[in-house]
Structure formats: C-alpha cells, structure tokens
Amino acid sequence: MPQFETTRPVLHSPEKMFDLVADVERYPEFLPLCEALSVRSRKERDGKVLLVADMTVGYKAIRETFTTQVLLNRDERIIDVKYIDGPFKYLDNRWRFEAAANGCDVRFFIDYEFKSRILGALMGSMFDRAFRMFAEAFEKRADAIYGTAASA
C-alpha cells in the first residue's frame, strides 16, 4: 500500500512536460530502475491516445515486467496509468501538468502494492525511493532537452 504524491515546479511549459512524460519509449534512457519499455498498442480517439505498454524494471538480480494502460489526455494535460498485469496487486499512477507563473507545476501521484510479500520486501523500499525520484528524473530530462531557461 505504498503511496507517493509530489508537486514540483519546473521552468518548462505544461505542454513540453506533457510531451516528455508521454514519450514512454524513452524512459529506459533516464528513468531510475527502468531497463526496458515497449508499446504493445497505440490507439487515438477523441483527441486522446491510449497505449498499452510493458515496462521492465530491475534492481540487482531482480527483474520484473509489468503491463499498464496509459491514457494521454493532451487537452487536460493529464496522463493516467492503470495496471493490467505483472507483479503488483494494483498500481495507479497519475501525472498532471498545471500552468504556473514561470513554467508549470508537475503533479505526480502513485499508489501500488506488490502481490508477493517477499517481492514487496525485496523491491519495496527500492521502488519507493525510485518513485520519489521519478519527478526529479523528468525535470532533469526536461532541462537536458529544452535547456534550463524558462521556456513557455
């Protein structure tokens, strides 16, 4: 039942931050614990994009792959992630990108629980730390791609 929520002010527009988080295929390049990510399907309807993706995460000798459904809602600048299959009992994740005076506020929420108590004990604290670093990892990625000056 670990849960984590944070809001980070960043010096980039909500649109740029949305694009960065929506580019899931790039996650293995910079996201903690993410070793691989593949998109199984991509459907567009009513201005929204629905992805089904497999993400492989690893720490030391442990590797786990899980499948999620990712709803990209550009108009509302929201990304919702719903769990489909893998080592979790459940996983819910939401990103919101809200305009702010000097860029945007990135709101990140995740709630999850492992099916296995053993896996939870082995990976739980590492996942907790990694999820806490996710928003920062995306902010650093944005600075590397878009620069560090405010860019609306």
Q: φ and ψ at 132, to 5 degrees? A: -65, -25
Q: Are 52 and 40 in contact (CB under 8 A)?
A: yes
Copy the structure tokens of residue 70: 């990712």
The CATH class that applies to domain 3-146 reads: alpha beta
Domain ranges of the chain: 3-146
Condensed to tens digits (0 to 9), the pLDDT of residues 45-97 reads 999 999 999 999 887 788 889 999 999 999 999 999 999 999 999 999 999 99
pLDDT at residue number 151: 46
User: Which segment of 13-17, 58-62, 110-114 scores lowest on mean pLDDT?
Assistant: 58-62
Confidence of residue 114 (pLDDT cuts 50, 70, 90): confident
